[in-house]
């Protein structure tokens, strides 16, 4: 069983937030493969679909990129932000983007496989 993204590296939500920063890095926490058990089978018919999960993943990757840029901007302006916070936010954004690109690649491979069957 694999850990949710952000889980094995820890959440950055506990990092101190500087003045003027309402955004902080968060945990992506996707459950695309259903690692969190069979509880999703008991949900009502209108529960999260794959499309909803994908939209949420895209939004969370975008948010992590925004948070990373926010930390970088604050650091460059000389605001009280620790370098390790900047580096951690940038690395989290990078890893989440890499994960999203690999997800796209796997989906494209699956689509091509299905299309070649017909």
What is the predicted pLDDT for the residue at 20? 46
Q: How many CB atoms lie within 10 A of CB 25?
A: 26
The continuous run of DSSP H or E covering 78 comes out as none
Q: And the tokens for 23?
A: 């955004």
- Give me the pLDDT at residue 9, please: 39
The predicted structure's pLDDT at residue 83: 95
CA-to-CA distance for 16 and 60, rounded, in angstroms? 20
Q: Count the alpha carbons within 13 Å of 80 in the hemisphere toward its beta carbon.
A: 6
Q: What is the pLDDT along the chain (118 residues), one digit of tens a residue?
A: 444 444 433 444 444 444 444 444 455 554 544 545 545 555 555 568 888 988 999 999 999 999 999 999 999 999 999 999 999 999 999 999 999 999 999 999 999 999 999 7
């Amino acid at each position: 069983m694999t850990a949710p993204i952000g889980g094995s590296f820890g959440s950055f939500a506990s990092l101190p937030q500087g003045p003027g920063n309402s955004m902080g890095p968060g945990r992506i926490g996707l459950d695309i493969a259903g690692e969190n058990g069979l509880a999703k089978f008991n949900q009502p018919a209108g529960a999260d679909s794959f499309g909803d999960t994908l939209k949420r993943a895209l939004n969370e990757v975008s948010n992590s990129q925004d948070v990373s840029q926010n930390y970088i901007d604050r650091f460059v302006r000389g605001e009280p932000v620790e370098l390790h916070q900047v580096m951690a936010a940038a690395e989290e954004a990078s890893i989440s983007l890499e994960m999203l690109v690999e997800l796209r690649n796997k989906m494209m491979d699956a689509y091509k496989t299905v299309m070649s069957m017909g």
